[in-house]
Amino acid sequence: MTARFFWIEVKDCFEHVSAKSGHEVISMTKKQKKVLYRIIIAAVLMVGLYFVPAEGYVKFALYLIPYFVIGYDILRKAALGILHGEVFDENFLMAVATVGAMLLGVYNESRGMEGEFSEGVAVMLFYQIGELFQAVAVGRSRRNISALMDIRPDYANVEDENGNLQQVDPEDVETGTVILVRPGEKVPIDGVVLEGTSSLNTAALTGESAPREITAGDEVISGCVNITGLLKIRTTKEFGESTVAKILDLVENSSMKKARTENFITKFAKYYTPAVCYSALALAVIPSVVNLIMGNPANWSTWIIRALTFLVISCPCALVISIPLSFFGGIGGASACGILVKGSNYLEALAKTKYVVFDKTGTLTKGVFEVIDICPSEEFSRSCAADPASGGASPRLVEYAAYAESYSTHPISKSLKKAYGQEIRPDRISQVEEIGGHGVTALVDGVQVAAGNEKLMKKLGISWQKNTGVGTVVHVAANGRYAGYILISDVVKEQSREAVAALKAAGVKKTVMLTGDSRTVAEHVAQKLGLDQVKSELLPAGKVEAVEELLGEKQPREMLAFVGDGINDAPVLSRADIGVAMGALGSDAAIEAADIVLMDDNPMKLALAIRISRKCLRIVTENIVFALTVKALCLVLGALGMANMWVAIFADVGVMVLAVLNAVRCLRAGK
């Protein structure tokens, strides 16, 4: 697996270098190319020197050429570091190790033995190869992530006074400007559609491939791609306030909030490097001195070479680079799935989620009312059965209710109209009378229709049937006789049940639902979804209290995530360990208040986010354990003299390369 990735990386490097194109996007920066040429020159020189029969100081002088070609910048940085009091860094380690190795060669020559100069050059050479590889790999993953988030619009089409289209910078478009978006173009700024119908591809924002149908009057979000029709849009925001700008800002800043593991490594490196340097010094001096005291030969050169090997092995690069890279890759991989994570710290916390608290409306349910049951009374059914023109009792009942409520804009009446499914003809209805808090009466096709709640039936002196379902009931009467009721309810999302089960499978201990809704509705939904606990009839402040109660209940290492739709949830989102806003397309408040934003309405994404976070942390742990184990092993071998410089080079560069390749896997964590 890793070998394959390595091959791909290496192949890509060569392809990009050989492409050598000045204007295309190339994989290496100028600086990196320069290093590559230096590596090639130094490598060729080294191979050449192997065949040159030079001896003694001439050989040393010849080896100095590739040494300086490959290492001059490291030596310079090490010198500058010492001047500025920043002694212990990897440049210093490398400089001391290689200069030491070269001097040891000279020392051996001076005593008439054959000096070894190739090791010092090789260490420098491989160190540079490792650094170059790391820089290229990091650059590549950076570009991969930006490609995933390729939602930045380049221009907006604005009509000038002569009616000609002009392409302008989205940042220059003022709020309220009319812009045109052609098929294939990105919507540059949030706005409202004035003319045109089309499908929008929201995949770049949500990871969802199903297109979204829009028509005049609908709000559109920047970053979507217009697929089919020409759209005329009036902008409602400036570019900087638009969804696309906010998302880009969020993703770009996400690596600024560092995870605990990252901070740990920083601190670790601070103590680790000096500790290693002093150990190496001790290794070089103490055994020889002890030998001298004991009256044995001191063996200075043996112990010095061991100390130098020790230094090369100990370089902390593998950890320092691979951990931020892992988190960054995880955040990038998550954003490709429509999950925006605001910082590595949240990605880290997500893996420890044990409590998930949901808001009901808009999170587990669609937040849209729908007719879920139609119950005509027996009498009404009989009369409809007798009249073939009625088209059946249930459709008739809905038709009456939809007509009676047709002048209302209440969500209930919208759902009735939707259930009716046909156009309302105003000429069929007259004498509409709304009775506040009760319902409506109207004359539909000459039939006196009353539609409303129990209070309306009571007021009209009509006996009604008690309903058994959960939701809002609309009773309907025709010509003073009870015709039946229609049950309307907020519909549970199809994925909610599965999502709760997936969270349980991902190790979440407790799932809780909070809602302002009535107890019966809440308990019905909770039971249907398999939630552990439900708190109903809560005011917004009550939600904060409920979350605080749960926060007090849990262990400190367990994390509590609150999932809401971002509307009126801001206090709870910020109070929870991890605030998750769902369906954030269009809700600015959610993007601001939440730590994690699920771009579409699918609650399954939370379980996916937890899985990505787990995988990412597993990779981080793998890298820490792997790097430290190999290094510790090589350090011991080096101190005992069983590992030479070549093993040391593997322990440094090899481990770093493997750790980086492993870290790059985080990018694919969501797949």
Partner 1 sequence: MKKTYKIEVDCANCALKMEEAAKKVEGVQEASVSFMTQKMKVEFAEGADERAVMQNVRKACKKVEDDCEIFLD
Nearer to partner 1, 47 or 80 (CB): 80
- Judged by CB under 8 A, the residue of 1, 3, 25, 256 near partner 1 is 256
Instruction: Look at residue 212 and give its three-state secondary structure.
Output: strand
d(CA 93, CA 74): 10
Given the structure tokens 């478009």, which residue do they identify? 173
Size of the residue set binding partner 1 (CB under 8 A): 27
Nearer to partner 1, 268 or 407 (CB): 268
Per CB under 8 A, 94 contacts partner 1: no
Nearer to partner 1, 27 or 255 (CB): 255
Q: In what order do the strands lie in the sheet with 212-214?
A: 212-214, 198-201, 225-226
Q: Which two tokens stand for residue 499?
A: 């999502």
Residue among 190, 359, 517, 595 flagged as catalytic: 359
Where do runs of H (alpha helix) occur along 256-316? 260-294, 300-314
Nearer to partner 1, 157 or 322 (CB): 322
Q: Which two tokens stand for residue 531?
A: 């939630």
Has 160 been annotated as catalytic?
no
- Judged by CB under 8 A, the residue of 9, 119, 131, 652 near partner 1 is 131
Instruction: State the DSSP string of 448-514.
Output: EEEEE-HHHHHHHT---PPP-SSSEEEEEEETTEEEEEEEEEEEEPTTHHHHHHHHHHTT--EEEEE
d(CA 105, CA 119): 10
d(CA 145, CA 163): 39
Radius of gyration in angstroms for the set of CA atoms belonging to the chain, rounded to a whole number:
35
- Judged by CB under 8 A, the residue of 27, 255, 261, 602 near partner 1 is 255
Nearer to partner 1, 344 or 489 (CB): 344
Per CB under 8 A, 90 contacts partner 1: yes
Question: Between β-strands 596-598 and 339-341, what pairing exists: parallel, antiparallel or unpaired?
Answer: antiparallel
Per CB under 8 A, 134 contacts partner 1: yes
What is each CA distance from 642 to 115, 524, 650, in whole angstroms?
20, 70, 14
Least distance from partner 1 to the Cβ atom of residue 79, Å: 10
Asked if 558 contacts 577 with a C-beta cutoff of 8 angstroms, the reply is: no
Least distance from partner 1 to the Cβ atom of residue 211, Å: 31
Nearer to partner 1, 35 or 488 (CB): 35
- Judged by CB under 8 A, the residue of 84, 111, 466, 671 near partner 1 is 84
What is each CA distance from 389 to 312, 381, 396, 404, 473, in whole angstroms?
92, 13, 10, 20, 27
Site for partner 1 in 138-157 (CB under 8 A): 138, 142
Least distance from partner 1 to the Cβ atom of residue 513, Å: 37
Per CB under 8 A, 172 contacts partner 1: no
Nearer to partner 1, 142 or 509 (CB): 142
Asked if 588 contacts 335 with a C-beta cutoff of 8 angstroms, the reply is: no
Only segment of 127-135, 485-493, 527-535, 626-634 that touches partner 1 (CB under 8 A): 127-135
Asked if 30 contacts 132 with a C-beta cutoff of 8 angstroms, the reply is: no
Which residues, in sequence order, are CB contacts of 84 under 8 Å at separation 6+? Answer: none
Only segment of 247-255, 345-353, 440-448, 511-519 that touches partner 1 (CB under 8 A): 247-255
Least distance from partner 1 to the Cβ atom of residue 657, Å: 14
Closest CA to 611 of 342, 330, 369, 401: 330
Per CB under 8 A, 77 contacts partner 1: yes
Per CB under 8 A, 671 contacts partner 1: no
Least distance from partner 1 to the Cβ atom of residue 331, Å: 9
Per CB under 8 A, 113 contacts partner 1: no
Q: Which two tokens stand for residue 484?
A: 């039946």
Per CB under 8 A, 135 contacts partner 1: yes
Least distance from partner 1 to the Cβ atom of residue 65, Å: 23
Only segment of 1-9, 103-111, 169-177, 253-261 that touches partner 1 (CB under 8 A): 253-261
Per CB under 8 A, 31 contacts partner 1: yes
Work out the angle between the directed axes of helices 655-664 and 118-148 (0-180°, nearest 10): 10
- Judged by CB under 8 A, the residue of 108, 266, 361, 453 near partner 1 is 266
Asked if 440 contacts 525 with a C-beta cutoff of 8 angstroms, the reply is: no
d(CA 388, CA 183): 48
Per CB under 8 A, 320 contacts partner 1: yes
Instruction: Look at residue 156 and give its three-state secondary structure.
Output: strand
Least distance from partner 1 to the Cβ atom of residue 316, Å: 8
Per CB under 8 A, 204 contacts partner 1: no
Nearer to partner 1, 73 or 154 (CB): 73
Helix H or strand E segment including 166: strand 165-168
Per CB under 8 A, 75 contacts partner 1: no
Least distance from partner 1 to the Cβ atom of residue 309, Å: 22
Nearer to partner 1, 87 or 227 (CB): 87
- Judged by CB under 8 A, the residue of 86, 172, 174, 445 near partner 1 is 86
Q: Which two tokens stand for residue 247?
A: 């998302």
- Judged by CB under 8 A, the residue of 2, 253, 520, 629 near partner 1 is 253
d(CA 38, CA 197): 58
- Judged by CB under 8 A, the residue of 17, 49, 89, 407 near partner 1 is 89
Q: In what order do the strands lie in the sheet with 510-514?
A: 339-341, 596-598, 578-582, 559-564, 353-359, 510-514, 533-535
Nearer to partner 1, 266 or 467 (CB): 266
**Using CA atoms in the order 322, 327, 329, 333, what is the torsion angle rounded to 10 degrees?**
160
- Judged by CB under 8 A, the residue of 49, 62, 178, 269 near partner 1 is 269
Least distance from partner 1 to the Cβ atom of residue 92, Å: 12
Per CB under 8 A, 78 contacts partner 1: no
Per CB under 8 A, 321 contacts partner 1: yes
Nearer to partner 1, 108 or 266 (CB): 266
By annotation, the residues acting in catalysis are 359
Applying CB under 8 A, the residues found at the interface with partner 1 are 31, 73, 76-77, 80, 84, 86, 89-90, 131, 134-135, 138, 142, 252-253, 255-256, 266, 269, 316-317, 320-321, 324-325, 328
